Amino acid sequence: MLDQRLVRDNPELISRELGRRGMDVDLTGLQLIAQQQRDLEERRSGLQADGNRIGKEVGQRIQAGADPKGAEVAELRQQGNQIKQTVAVLEDEEKQLTARLREELLSYPNLPSEACPDGRSEADNKEVRRWGDPRVEDGLMEHWQIAEQLSLLDTERSVRIAQSRFVTLFGQGARLERALINFMLDLHTGKGYREVLPPVLVNSASLKGSGQLPKFAEEIFRCADDDLWLTPTAEVPLTSLHRDEIIPSEQLPLRYVAYSPCFRREAGSYGRDTRGLIRLHQFNKVELYWFVHPEHSEEAHAQITADAEAVLKALELPYRVLELCTGDLGFSAARTYDLEVWLAGAGAFREISSCSVCSDFQARRSSIRTKDGKTTRLVHTLNGSGLAIGRTMAALLENGQQPDGSVKLPQALVPYFGCDRLQPE
């Protein structure tokens, strides 16, 4: 969430930075609310100080010999009661304005980092680096074709169970999914991440804190009878692990890794990637999440990206790193690196991880702070897929396909899967 002080004191900065995202915003109304809220706060604080002074004066006069029931003390007490009544009215007005301002601000995205390249769309994203040699051959199959030949998944039965854009994995497919999850968790915990298995159902406060609500409500599955939603990403519960907390600075950084099923409606994507594992309503993901001191968020962003890249390197999957331009940034992100894995059958790079630094945006929405001595500050948060399991499986199938119909697996996965290839059954 944007800083209310910026809205009040420097709305031009917000308008300029959101303009880099391609937004044209007029903050006049919000600035007025913020100013009214501050004026009420200052008036209330002044009256409370007067009330405290009068309370002390009553005690002092009684100690000096004044009659506790006399006119002199009664007049002071009446003044104090009048102040209390006025303060109560001001507090109510202030709470209403604060709630209104907060509700309005929840709809505004994060300000982009100064280092984030300007641009209007994904066409303006900047390639940073590549790793590995993409496999380029004629006649290679796409992952869904390979999966069908190897009987790894079934979409028709999944429609019977749920609806379209769900898959059921069988045999080697189910085993490969499980192997990938365990491999990624072990790789990241070996680097010092603390493993978490969070709830799959999350409340509205958690979704607001991480930035999914209110903007993305239509893309999230909701339970009809409860204030609970199916989590779209483990980023949501991980953000709320420390909601409304002050984290001692000596405990930072906190680094978490979590496996979770993820659920998304994929609104607006119908007709795209209707086959296979790329765009599903339900998929598994291993998520990386950091809470860091504001002074260290830039180096943390480089490290969380490197940790996600380490998975692709270990699995011998060629990829490239893109820095997203301002027009393609996610709602909560200030700066983002996307990892795109090479899909040999499709002959294209596809996103498999998005590593973002969110500055204090999520921390302000979730009230997560750190204290160093007498100084209390909002923490910075970072998140990155480490990795999306279905897309990783798709990349393994397309890059490892062999002429005999088998799929060769990377050596790092063999201890988890049990052998070095998928074979036709």
Residues 203 and 303 in one domain: yes
CATH number where 207 lies: 3.30.930.10
Residue 281, H or E segment: none
At residue 182, the pLDDT reads 98
Residues 88 and 135 in one domain: no
Say which residue the tokens 């930072």 belong to. 252
Q: Return d(Cα 304, Cα 357) in angstroms, integer.
A: 9
Residues 49 and 154 in one domain: no
Q: In Å, how far are 14, 87, 109, 123, 331 from 19, measured between CA atoms?
A: 8, 40, 11, 18, 14
Residue in 113, 158, 240, 354 annotated catalytic: 354
- pTM of whole model > 0.85? yes
Residues 68 and 197 in one domain: no
| Domain assignment of residue 113, yes or no | no
Q: For residue 387, say if its preceding peptide bond is cis, omega within 30 degrees of 0.
A: yes
Residues 145 and 9 in one domain: no
Residue 351 known to be catalytic: yes
CATH number where 67 lies: 1.10.287.40
| Domain assignment of residue 115, yes or no | no
Q: What's the CA dihedral at 368, 372, 376, 381 to 10 degrees?
A: -30
| Domain assignment of residue 282, yes or no | yes
* Tokens describing residue 50: 């007067």
Residues 270 and 415 in one domain: yes
Q: Return d(Cα 211, Cα 332) in angstroms, integer.
A: 6
Q: Which of 55, 77, 105 is the last residue of a domain?
A: 105
Closest CA to 216 of 151, 259, 264: 264
Residues 263 and 338 in one domain: yes
Q: Return d(Cα 126, Cα 329) in angstroms, integer.
A: 12
Pairing of strands 126-131, 245-248: unpaired
DSSP letters, 210-258, are HT-TTTTGGGS-B-TTSS-EE-S-THHHHHGGGTTEEEEGGGPPEEEEE
Q: Return d(Cα 185, Cα 258) in angstroms, integer.
A: 8
At residue 260, the pLDDT reads 97
Residue in 264, 335, 364, 365 annotated catalytic: 264
Residue in 178, 351, 369, 421 annotated catalytic: 351
| Domain assignment of residue 111, yes or no | no
Pairing of strands 126-131, 201-202: unpaired
Residues 57 and 144 in one domain: no
| Domain assignment of residue 112, yes or no | no
Residue in 175, 265, 279, 421 annotated catalytic: 279
At residue 272, the pLDDT reads 62
Residues 84 and 160 in one domain: no
**Cβ(34)–Cβ(4) below 8 Å:** yes
| Domain assignment of residue 412, yes or no | yes
| Domain assignment of residue 295, yes or no | yes
At residue 270, the pLDDT reads 58
Residues 155 and 57 in one domain: no
**Cβ(395)–Cβ(343) below 8 Å:** yes
pLDDT in tens, the chain (425 residues): 899 999 999 999 999 999 999 999 999 999 999 999 999 999 999 998 888 888 888 888 888 877 878 888 788 888 888 998 998 999 999 999 999 999 999 999 999 999 999 999 999 999 999 999 999 999 999 999 999 999 999 999 999 999 999 999 999 999 999 999 999 999 999 999 999 999 999 999 999 999 999 999 999 999 999 999 999 999 999 999 999 999 999 999 999 999 999 999 976 555 667 788 999 999 999 999 999 999 999 999 999 999 999 999 999 999 999 999 999 999 999 999 999 999 999 999 999 999 999 999 999 999 999 998 889 999 999 999 999 999 999 999 999 999 999 999 999 999 999 999 999 97
Residue 391 known to be catalytic: yes
Give the chain's domain count. 2
Q: Find the domain containing 9 and state its range.
A: 4-105
| Domain assignment of residue 117, yes or no | no
Residues 233 and 101 in one domain: no
Residues 177 and 228 in one domain: yes
